[in-house]
Amino acid sequence: MSTSVYDFPLHRITGEAASLADYRGKVLLVVNVASKCGLTKQYEGLEKLYSQYRDRGLVVTGFPANDFAGQEPGSNEDIQAFCRSTYGVEFPLFSKIAVTGENTHPLYQELIKAQPKAISTAKESFRDKLKGYGMSINPEPGILWNFEKFVVGRSGDVVARFSPETLPDDPALLQAIEAELAKS
């Protein structure tokens, strides 16, 4: 029997038990997020994306992770307060998890296995940019940095993966989301 992204127990940022099965039949955008990252401003775009497409069946899901340069040091309560007050985040946030290393959450293990390579539409690869800053980075297929994005279709299949610098309004990401929303 194959494993699905719906199979993993999770917790909402407020502590209640949950799973992605709560969104079965929806298109999901799964994003590992951080509050103190140079990419944190993507929260604004993610919320706009969620507002724009949620009536058509898109659910943006945020998974805080403190795996990259300690850029998500706060508690779940701190993270939720920051996201709501600074960016008006209404999309579902989950409890902080690990998305890399030996403690990688099983959901992220499955996402990576399903889509081992991230799509980048940038002229300069984010991987090269991080190396230029002297940052220690994960080898592929691991998660490169905060704000990596996975598109999960209505059937629960992981259909695309986008690198961290891919903005929420990037045409390639929007095309992937709209293609899945068009399926019934």
**Which residues are part of the catalytic machinery?**
37
Q: How far apart are CA 12 and CA 106, in angstroms?
A: 16
* Residue 130 in tokens: 């991080």
CA angle 23, 89, 58 (to 5 degrees): 30
